Amino acid sequence: MGSVMMRIVRQVSIVLVLFGCAARVCAQRSVVGSPHDLSVSGPGNLHALHEEQVCIFCHAPHNATGQKPLWNRNMPPTHYRIYRSSTTDARIDQPSGPSKMCLSCHDGALALGLVASRPANEPIVMSRRMMPPGPADLTQDLSDDHPIGFRFDRALFNRDGQLRNPDLLSKELPLGAHNEVHCTTCHDPHDNSLGDFLRIPDRRSALCLSCHDLHGWESSSHAISPKSVSARSVDPREKLPYQTVADNACTSCHKIHSAGQRNRLLRFRREEDNCLNCHNGSIAAKNIASEMRKPSGHPVHRFLGRHDPNEDPRLVQKHVECSDCHNPHASRSQIVNRVDRPGIGQISDTMRFVSGVDRGGRPIDSARFEYEVCFKCHADNASRQLRPTISRQVTELNTRLEFQPNNPSFHPVVAPRGNNDVVSLTSPWRVGSVMRCTDCHNSDSASQGSVVGVRGPHGSIHRPLLIDNYSTGGIRDGKSASLRLMLSLP
């Protein structure tokens, strides 16, 4: 009986699979009927009024421009504003070859009906003369679009470190004659069966990840999160293509064309919006946006366009952004939050692959200890305007130096202490324990010891960004000095 059922199930599944394949094959794979069909019977609002040929808008059998493949539009003489970024290792040039052909319409500057095979005074009469404003109009400013016209070769692969080997690039994604990336690397102008004329499906950003290889991405929360993205919850201006965070992958935060923030092609111009639009309780589990509104914290909303992933933390001007402490390509949620306490100060999983400054003051690419991330700003950087909150015998405003193990006395953040005379330590703290900055500087909601509260030094109601109320006058009544009591919580 069971075997019969199994057989039926198997047959049904085979039929379903076959049906799926058939549907895939039947999907629109021709330029005819696609948005690039500008003939009189083409779909959409943009079409010719009389012209019945489909190919003629781009190709002509006679009297074409002479450029392969029988190209029928004159190349725009435009000098485009091109993509620039401090983190790219590619040498980006003005668009050329097939990219320029695409831009002959998609820069919105040339009349659509103006083709080389017809006299200039008798262009094809179109329903709209020019490319209407919208996502298809890339404009002559290409600095907010993914770069094209650079060579994706072995040399770039060796320089960059976060790209894949171009020799192993799928044959479905063709590069130009000199390995340049063109519009046609990702788009097939004749086949819209996948939408957006993409060459391969972009589910889980398979298209992006064909070239990009980001440290820690595969296991990051953003790559595997099954959280649902409802209609326009992420970006009110654009509906994301897929249902979950994992399926949208790169496109959750990045826009490949007409990005809000140019240098990193981010969806929104303000850096924190790219994070807090999800991390405000709507999609992500923890509401970080409300933390940021607390009186003491890291005020990411106060700075715009100042953070640069390539910056030298010792010299950079004072600022803070989410990505100063988090790498959204590698970050993953810390499931077990405090069990490792008292640990050895190792960095949290939410801060994987974040740059830092080690205890010797040297910048490092990937911090191993939490304090190394804090030291990026709270150590040798001179742009902070500092005034001591408490007058001390020795005034030292460089937190890195304050924690040096050769100081007469220090909290064991960068190294354990061997002072056996500390009798007041409460379990689990003991001589030799190592602390983290966030043991004291943390959200007030983390002090409750529960795993639901938001953790991390985003914001707190206790100044200066303390996990609990700290008043030196309260020790006598037994209630306060709760900071110390908190530290004894398991």
Contacts with other proteins, residue ranges (CB under 8 A): 30-32, 39-41, 47, 49-50, 52-56, 59, 61-67, 70, 190
Q: How far is the CB of 104 from other proteins (least distance, A)?
A: 16
Separation between Cα atoms, residue 297 and residue 442, nearest integer Å:
9
The one-letter code for the residue type at 261 is Q
Pick 191 or 196: Cβ nearer other proteins: 191
Pick 176 or 297: Cβ nearer other proteins: 176
Pick 61 or 405: Cβ nearer other proteins: 61
Q: How far is the CB of 28 from other proteins (least distance, A)?
A: 12
* DSSP secondary structure letters along 77-116: ----B----SS--S------HHHHHHHHHHTS-S-TT--T
Using the Cα atoms of residue 444, residue 445, residue 449 and residue 454 in order, give the sign of their dihedral.
Answer: negative
- Phi, psi at 67, each rounded to 5°: -95, 140
Q: How far is the CB of 231 from other proteins (least distance, A)?
A: 31
Closest to 328 (Cα-Cα) out of 381, 276, 259:
276
CA distances 379 to 19, 38, 322, 400, Å, are 63, 61, 19, 5
CB atoms within 10 A of CB 457: 22
Pick 52 or 477: Cβ nearer other proteins: 52
Q: How far is the CB of 193 from other proteins (least distance, A)?
A: 13
Q: How far is the CB of 49 from other proteins (least distance, A)?
A: 7
Pick 32 or 431: Cβ nearer other proteins: 32
The one-letter code for the residue type at 460 is S
Pick 175 or 461: Cβ nearer other proteins: 175
Pick 141 or 196: Cβ nearer other proteins: 196
Q: How far is the CB of 32 from other proteins (least distance, A)?
A: 6
Q: How far is the CB of 202 from other proteins (least distance, A)?
A: 22
Separation between Cα atoms, residue 182 and residue 228, nearest integer Å:
33
Query: Which residues are CB-contacts of 261 (< 8 A; sequence separation ≥ 6)?
Result: 267, 268, 269, 270, 271, 274
Tokens (6 digits) for 227: 């959280």
Pick 33 or 309: Cβ nearer other proteins: 33
The helix (run of H) or strand (run of E) holding residue 10 is helix 2-26
Pick 98 or 345: Cβ nearer other proteins: 98
Q: How far is the CB of 122 from other proteins (least distance, A)?
A: 13
Closest to 197 (Cα-Cα) out of 71, 69, 98, 127:
98
Pick 56 or 446: Cβ nearer other proteins: 56
Separation between Cα atoms, residue 225 and residue 112, nearest integer Å:
43
CA angle 379, 381, 386 (to 5 degrees): 80
Tokens (6 digits) for 424: 């007041």
CA distances 254 to 110, 206, 218, 269, 271, Å, are 29, 14, 17, 11, 11
Which residue matches tokens 């109009």? 137
Separation between Cα atoms, residue 28 and residue 197, nearest integer Å:
11
Q: How far is the CB of 20 from other proteins (least distance, A)?
A: 22
Contact yes or no for 102/146 (Cβ under 8 A): no
CA distances 75 to 103, 111, 180, 364, Å, are 8, 12, 19, 47
Q: How far is the CB of 57 from other proteins (least distance, A)?
A: 10
SS3 of residue 363 by DSSP: strand
SS3 of residue 126 by DSSP: strand
Mark 252-272 as b/e (b = at least 16 C-beta within 10 Å): bbbbbebbbbbbbbbbbebbb
Q: How far is the CB of 103 from other proteins (least distance, A)?
A: 20
Q: How far is the CB of 133 from other proteins (least distance, A)?
A: 22
CB atoms within 10 A of CB 122: 10
Pick 71 or 353: Cβ nearer other proteins: 71
Contact yes or no for 35/192 (Cβ under 8 A): yes
Pick 30 or 346: Cβ nearer other proteins: 30
